[in-house]
Structure 1
Amino acid sequence: MLNISRPFEAYLDEMRTITVLVPGNRTDCFGPPFLLEDEQGKESGLLIKETRELKEHRKYVLESEGPVPLGRVHKVRCRGSEWTDLQIGAVIRTAEFDQAFFYEGTLGAIYSRERTIFRVWAPSASAAMLELQSPDGTQKTVLQMVRKHKGVYEITVDGDMNGWMYMYHIYVNRERFRTADPYAKAVTANGEKGVVLDPDELKVEKHDPQAFQSPCDAVIYEAHIRDFSIHDESGMQYKGKYLALTEEHTETAGGFSTGVSYLQELGITHVEFLPFNDFAGVDELDPGTSYNWGYNPLHFNVPEGSYSLDPQDPKKRIIELKTAIQALHKNGLNVIMDAVYNHVYKREDSPFERTVPGYFFRHDEFGFPADGTGVGNDIASERLMARKFILDSIRFWLEDYDVDGIRFDLMGILDIETVRRIKQLAERVKPGVLLFGEGWDLNTPLPDGQKAALHNAGNMPGIGFFNDRFRDAVKGSTFHLEDRGFALGDVRKKAAVQDGIAGSPGFLSPQQSINYVESHDNHTFWDKMAFCLQEDQKTKRLRQRLSIAIVLLSQGVPFLHSGQEFCRTKQGNQNSYRASDQINRLDWKKRAALHGDIEYVRKLIALRKAHPAFRLRTPGEVKKHLSFLEETKEAIAYRLYHIGKIDGWNEIIVVHCPFAKKEELKLPDGKSYLLYCDPFTFFQEMVPVSGWLQLNGIGTYVLYEPKGIF
């Protein structure tokens, strides 16, 4: 960018409003009257609406005779014939601008073998150029683009441009911004340049994913692509890469299943991967030297290159990711992508900011970039072209990559209308798609009633929310490490856990409640126990099982963090977003050592999937079929009843016990049941229980009344 010297500053802040800042020590040289001059030298008067003395400037608020056309260079003159260029200011964040320049058409590089059309939305620019470079790098040219309607710059380049690299030069406020295309679908290594590719060369064989009638039928398993296979004992050849997800029948040295085969055995339905769109934090040409979770988005519509076998080949990362997704589909697993539409890695360097400076991000009342995300910028999803980008991107991932769900990072930054539009679009493109996110209430300059936050969940039907009340009740506070939840022995959390078991009525509907106790964020359950409890390893493993059982047998949508089922530890690291592989990797050796705990979780998942009574969809159904037993002060006991028409059993009783002492629980109406499991065993043969249930350890007990006589 240029270092431009101006005698005074003039900004277009509304379509007819110009703000002039005159240096305080030079007001005798510059000042009224002010004139606006267009490119042809035609002048028009500017009416002074306000004058204000600032610390170092005198401020004039001026009004033009009509809206000032964008896309042209204008001058503001003052007395003495001094002039300055009219810079594009806050006008681009006005509703009038949004309506005037909203563009509904296709953006980016639109390829055919005969020609490629390049379109970029840059309404505040006075000019735009297209820089092209041949695949072998020997040819380079820069072409003038033509401004079309709605602020779109366009050029058609004849010939087959397959493999050509491209960038835009955008001229705003007498500065040139060289940038990649916000709509790029392929890039060079580390996302430096966009690449034109032939879509026909990027197709892979498709397999139908498993269909679901309700989010409550899902069991979500969160994983990081690199973590999943990088361990020495993973048994996978393509460690840390997309193609590890295509490997079948992998196992540890001791013969225990790993990878996709392990996920199949475990019984989960959806794998949610941390971000796999192009991100910063890992050098794609030397990925082993650094690590990152991926919440540093660079290009939203391009796969991350560090997971590819050849990040220098723009095609390979695309084909490898598509192949991995279809391999998971083939093996009966659905794929959820973690999407980060709330911020970018560095605002100043992002293609958004370099094509339309100031538009795509929220600013506070003083004009500074908002920081509700905590990373220096908040995407302004409520603006029409920002919303369009998000919707276009989601359609692209659903259609082109065939993903089956989207998890929205910091969804509370987004606005409700955008989230509603996402739901409508996703259901049209791929019915049954899972949509959920983090509904935290963040300090972003958006009216409270417009935030896609938990407290507004009722305004976003069909959208799931991470249920932090459930998490904190079972596990204990995320922010106070010493605080223990119910599964860690604090029975004072009993009522809060019961509320979560019942689907969090009045807070969320069951289909919106993502029930979890750990994720990639914060301490794992095992690491929190290490801080909170002075108990032996055997007891802690029972508590780990208990927490998972509460998640899997509650009304709502169960969510597991990869490795949680075998007591995953990150060595006490509560924010491992750029820690080493040693901290983050999925420990397949531990998977082998704790195969008994895994088998317990596998059977719990099978129990949930086999019985619709654990997957009720509405608050009304839960109220009709679930009630709590109050025969114990500390354990939680509940009954699923009148379920014969929807379930294979007539009645189910679940007991979650957080203590080791022995206690008897009186069963309802003196009835007899069969014991399905206790904290230690899933029973193969019928174990009748009449009148009373003996609680003999920390964990979960499931009893049932079968149909017919036993």
Structure 2
Amino acid sequence: MKKIISFSLVLVMVLSVIPQVVFAEAPTELIIHYHRFDSVYENWNLWIWPESKAGTSYEFTDEDEFGKVAVIPLENIESVDQIGFIVRKGDWEAKDVDQDRFIPVNRVNAKNQLEIFVVQGSETFYFDASEIDLSPKFLSAQLIDEKTVKITSSKPIPISEMRSGFSLVDSDGTHLKPAAVSGGSGDMAQNFVVLLEDAITIGKDYVTEFGTYAEVPIDISGIYGTEIFESTFGYTGVLGVSYTKNKTTFRVWSPLAEDMTLVLYAEGLGPVELERIPMRQSDQGVWEVSVEGDLHGFYYTYAFKMNGQDRETYDPYAVAAGVNGDRSMVVDFEQTHPEGWQNDRGPVYEKSNDAIVYEMHIRDFSIHPSSGIEHAGKYLGVVESGTQTDAGTVTGLDHLKELGVTHVQILPMYDFNSIDERQLTEGVFNWGYDPKNYSVPEGSYATDPYNGESRILEMKQMIKGLHDAGIGVIMDVVYNHTALSADSNLNLLMPGYYYRMDDGKFSNASGTGNETASERIMVRKLILDSLKHWVETYHIDGFRFDLMGVHDIETMQVIEKELKKINPNIILYGEGWTGGTSTLPDGERLLKANLSATPTIGAFNDDMRDGIKGHVFNAEEGAFASGYAGFEESVKFGIVGAVFHPQVNYDAVNYSNDPWAVNPSQSVNYVSAHDNLTLWDKFQVTNPAASEEERIRMHMLSNAIVLTSQGMPFLHLGVDFLRTKEGDHNSYMSPDSINQIDWNRKTMYHDVFDYHKGLIDLRKNYPAFRLSTQSAIESGIVFFSSEETSVVSLKDQMIGYMIPKNEALDISETLIVIFNGRDKAQEINLPGSEYKILVNGQEASAQALEKFKGGRLEMPSYSALVLSTEDVFIEGQTNRIATDSNDSKGVSIALIAVLGFVFASAGVLLVMGRQKKKTV
């Protein structure tokens, strides 16, 4: 009876609580109080996001005795468990603390509000102001070098007291006293530079000691780049997992960890541990342990203590992982080879500008029902053959072969952070520029994200299938930042080392919250080892470096040298800019202006891009291909592959006052990519009054310029049939309805597809469009002018040039290329000769579309014209024709002039006079 009564009482008590917890109303508003010790609140604001939803910026609009106050209305959060917040300065100039913080939604007050109190520099936030200690304290303490520490206090302190009372204390109790203290010109200060009597000992932990102030751990990141630190802790051996069937060795670099334990799991998800195995610290900060037996298929993490706190994280050197990449995996790669893998090879190209690159996203490529692809959105879907739309239009892999591209550049397919691989519901999408595991394939593209082997095998199957189709694979890599900052596995294992810091905060040249310190020896090693892994294990044919301008030049030179040893034909290029300011000087970063330091690494030609279509960030601003004047020199800059050419006026180029390429292969020529508006959407904004037919011509003209220019051409998936994202300029997490490729558009605009296909065929068959040196371009490309003496006298908003035939350059015919960027047809006059028209306003081909004898010719608005002839013309001498361009053949300029005069006298002018005006 007593047991029954006790149970009844407990049941009543539980039921009395349930209404408060389960049936509580969602809070109506969030109130955040913020206290800064320095009382400087200017430009500080909040970034708020309900869990799994987009973030929004909010300002502090009120103040009280505690500090500033923000009142934020909350709507539609019934299904939300917690709300994330960041206190930031400006538009991500700085963060108060680096960690993301989350407020439980069920912590409502009596007014059904969420109310918290936040203190400058403290990770902890409070629900009651009375819990907060605002007494004087040190906010930060950071080493500048081995004998100098920078201290920031919450309140002013007499400099004399810091000299007499401050010290650093190591883990053995040894005190390091100041030799001098600087705090500015006054007697009191909050910011101090303390010069110590003795240098610290590398590898020991230090804390502050000063009166009643609480001790603060010393941030040693200021000495990470010093020679003494790198010589002490720079490790050149193997990190991560070294697997054999009999034994597996685990190594992780973490010089500051107080201990390290290997934690083994049977599965990539779940609470059950198999075993915890202590690791021992060997030389240079590496922790190591070997485990007997065959561990293929086992999962693992590292558990350790750092600054007195227990941590657990995944391996920075992981090459396999479980679902969401939270546990690393031991794998026998021999068991992940598809059939024929040992003989797999990518296509070989002697120089990068022989390649024609097509940028694609794995999910975009196949997720639309019109693709006819079974494994929609997966690695395997990329290489299904025989797929087509209901109308019979070729899709997928066969489309790539039909179009004729030589390489695909695949948006991030390493393991990224933004997608929950456990909930791959319809519409879950991200580009993937938020790295989590640099050397692990992304799980959401695998048929089984829970099985670490599945993603490895299926990525290999995709790569082999592309290689079998004659198509190379370029991997989009993002080593410039990580998805997480303070909470990343890199920062947990070695706080502050892997990132550039600015006054104790994460520097942000990536624009995403942090930037990696590639110039540091162990960061450089991580990047290089990861790249080698992708080349050697997955047969990757090239890399596109996201925000390459964040990386230091020396690291990129090492990458260039080491990857060329493995594959001499590997293709390397990237974005020659950053997403924000960096603590590393411009002269030390691989911006496009510094590309002469890496002659086989290319950069995207944004000068040409915006010269053709208009500024990417000013949506309504058009350029040459859409009828806007003044962009001719920027387009010519791209035509010559960003190398020097005497006929380019560099003062009139939009962004670069000088050529930045030393050879044309370094210029990646393009008008559209995953970023910003698609080319089709751009012209709808820049030319809203234009007809669809006119915008199609603008579109075709744009890539006619790209595919006939010197350098490496780059095309955006679907650009060949007018891809649209419905005006979404930043679709990185937009749903499939925005990002997917609607293959029905290929049926609708098959003539546009045929035009691009013809341009690609033309480029492949005419080496004149793929010159390999600056000298060949300087001497081999001759731009026309508006002068009457020009071989072709150009009208306004026209660009034209010729490439005379030259056996030494493997150019068997003279090519004439003209672009009309006007919104109306314009007439040109060609010297009398026998021409093959290869490209006109509607068609493109490597074979003659028709023949032309010379004379007047009308080019439609927004159109390209390419012709070939056996004759050679001399610019500046109207209608003068030569029979050969090689001085070595003994043909002098004088003889050319005579031949031209004789040819003209024989009736060329008569022929031209009788020739009717022709329209192409």
TM-score of the superposed pair, with normalisation by structure 2: 0.72
Q: CA deviation at 1:450?
A: 0.5
- Cα distance between partner residues in 2 of 1:416 and 1:29: 45
Partner of 1:150: 284
Out of 851, 861, 870, which is 1:687 matched to? 851
**Partner of 1:406: helix, strand, or coil?**
strand
Out of 256, 265, 289, which is 1:133 matched to? 265
Alpha-carbon deviations, 1:622-652, whole Å to 9, x = none? Answer: 1111111220123222101033444463211
Q: CA deviation at 1:196?
A: 1.1
- Cα distance between partner residues in 2 of 1:335 and 1:58: 52
Task: Say if 1:22 and 1:30, in contact at 8 Å, map to a contact too.
Answer: no
Partner of 1:178: 312
Q: CA deviation at 1:39?
A: 5.2
Alpha-carbon deviations, 1:639-690, whole Å to 9, x = none? Answer: 010334444632111111223644332225x433222231123575651322
The amino acid of 2:201's aligned partner reads V
- From the superposition, tell whether residues 89 and 543 of structure 1 become closer, same or farther in structure 2 (CA, over 3 Å): same
* Alignment of structure 1 residues 259-270 onto 2, 5 Å: 259-270=396-407
Alpha-carbon deviations, 1:135-164, whole Å to 9, x = none? Answer: 496543222211111111111122222222
The amino acid of 1:412's aligned partner reads G
Q: How many residues align?
A: 704
Alpha-carbon deviations, 1:56-113, whole Å to 9, x = none? Answer: 858572525344141x455666679x99575443345341323321110110121112
* Alignment of structure 1 residues 214-363 onto 2, 5 Å: 214-288=351-425, 289-363=427-501
Between stretches 572-581 and 15-24, larger displacement belongs to 15-24
Partner of 2:867: 703
Q: Does 1:102 align with 2:234?
A: yes
**Partner of 1:393: helix, strand, or coil?**
helix
- Cα distance between partner residues in 2 of 1:390 and 1:690: 57
* Alignment of structure 1 residues 471-620 onto 2, 5 Å: 471-505=609-643, 506-508=659-661, 509-533=663-687, 534-620=689-775
- From the superposition, tell whether residues 659 and 295 of structure 1 become closer, same or farther in structure 2 (CA, over 3 Å): same
**Partner of 2:801: helix, strand, or coil?**
strand
**Partner of 1:360: helix, strand, or coil?**
coil
**Partner of 1:372: helix, strand, or coil?**
coil
Q: CA deviation at 1:22?
A: 7.2
Between stretches 120-129 and 232-241, larger displacement belongs to 120-129
Query: Unpaired runs of 5+ in structure 1?
Result: none
Q: Does 1:459 align with 2:597?
A: yes
Q: CA deviation at 1:23?
A: 7.2
Q: Does 1:637 align with 2:769?
A: no
The amino acid of 1:605's aligned partner reads I
Q: CA deviation at 1:552?
A: 0.2
- From the superposition, tell whether residues 369 and 705 of structure 1 become closer, same or farther in structure 2 (CA, over 3 Å): same
**Partner of 1:248: helix, strand, or coil?**
coil
The amino acid of 1:604's aligned partner reads L
The amino acid of 1:149's aligned partner reads D
- From the superposition, tell whether residues 77 and 188 of structure 1 become closer, same or farther in structure 2 (CA, over 3 Å): same
Alpha-carbon deviations, 1:513-566, whole Å to 9, x = none? Answer: 111011000111111111121111112111111111000001111000011111
**Partner of 2:751: helix, strand, or coil?**
helix
- From the superposition, tell whether residues 666 and 98 of structure 1 become closer, same or farther in structure 2 (CA, over 3 Å): same
Task: Say if 2:840 and 2:865, in contact at 8 Å, map to a contact too.
Answer: yes
- From the superposition, tell whether residues 446 and 35 of structure 1 become closer, same or farther in structure 2 (CA, over 3 Å): closer
Between stretches 319-328 and 5-14, larger displacement belongs to 5-14
Out of 179, 184, 187, which is 2:321 matched to? 187
Q: CA deviation at 1:357?
A: 0.6
Partner of 1:652: 815
**Partner of 2:399: helix, strand, or coil?**
helix
Query: Unpaired runs of 5+ in structure 2?
Result: 1-98, 100-122, 126-132, 644-658, 786-792, 872-882, 885-920
Task: Say if 2:282 and 2:288, in contact at 8 Å, map to a contact too.
Answer: yes
**Partner of 2:741: helix, strand, or coil?**
coil
Task: Say if 1:676 and 1:687, in contact at 8 Å, map to a contact too.
Answer: no
Task: Say if 1:254 and 1:592, in contact at 8 Å, map to a contact too.
Answer: yes
The amino acid of 1:573's aligned partner reads D
Task: Say if 2:162 and 2:181, in contact at 8 Å, map to a contact too.
Answer: no
**Partner of 1:153: helix, strand, or coil?**
strand
The amino acid of 2:194's aligned partner reads V
- Cα distance between partner residues in 2 of 1:60 and 1:695: 71
Residue identity (%): 36
- Cα distance between partner residues in 1 of 2:744 and 2:221: 57
The amino acid of 2:714's aligned partner reads F
Partner of 1:406: 543
The amino acid of 1:446's aligned partner reads L
Q: CA deviation at 1:260?
A: 0.8
- From the superposition, tell whether residues 623 and 343 of structure 1 become closer, same or farther in structure 2 (CA, over 3 Å): same
Q: CA deviation at 1:500?
A: 1.6
- Cα distance between partner residues in 2 of 1:400 and 1:67: 43
- Cα distance between partner residues in 2 of 1:78 and 1:568: 64
Q: Does 1:14 align with 2:151?
A: no
- Cα distance between partner residues in 1 of 2:705 and 2:286: 53
The amino acid of 2:265's aligned partner reads Q
Partner of 2:350: 213
The amino acid of 1:636's aligned partner reads I
- From the superposition, tell whether residues 69 and 485 of structure 1 become closer, same or farther in structure 2 (CA, over 3 Å): closer
Task: Say if 2:805 and 2:815, in contact at 8 Å, map to a contact too.
Answer: no
- Cα distance between partner residues in 1 of 2:518 and 2:273: 39
- From the superposition, tell whether residues 563 and 677 of structure 1 become closer, same or farther in structure 2 (CA, over 3 Å): same
- Cα distance between partner residues in 2 of 1:166 and 1:674: 65
Task: Say if 1:15 and 1:67, in contact at 8 Å, map to a contact too.
Answer: yes
- From the superposition, tell whether residues 529 and 60 of structure 1 become closer, same or farther in structure 2 (CA, over 3 Å): closer
* Alignment of structure 1 residues 360-371 onto 2, 5 Å: 360-364=498-502, 366-371=503-508
- Cα distance between partner residues in 2 of 1:166 and 1:544: 51
Q: CA deviation at 1:694?
A: 3.2
Alpha-carbon deviations, 1:592-636, whole Å to 9, x = none? Answer: 211111111101100000111000111110111111122012322
Partner of 1:49: 180
- From the superposition, tell whether residues 38 and 573 of structure 1 become closer, same or farther in structure 2 (CA, over 3 Å): closer
Q: CA deviation at 1:297?
A: 0.8
Task: Say if 1:73 and 1:126, in contact at 8 Å, map to a contact too.
Answer: no
Q: CA deviation at 1:202?
A: 1.9
- From the superposition, tell whether residues 281 and 692 of structure 1 become closer, same or farther in structure 2 (CA, over 3 Å): same
- Cα distance between partner residues in 2 of 1:64 and 1:152: 30
- From the superposition, tell whether residues 55 and 581 of structure 1 become closer, same or farther in structure 2 (CA, over 3 Å): farther
- From the superposition, tell whether residues 36 and 479 of structure 1 become closer, same or farther in structure 2 (CA, over 3 Å): closer
The amino acid of 2:414's aligned partner reads N
- CA RMSD, 1 decimal: 2.8
The amino acid of 1:511's aligned partner reads S
The amino acid of 2:679's aligned partner reads F
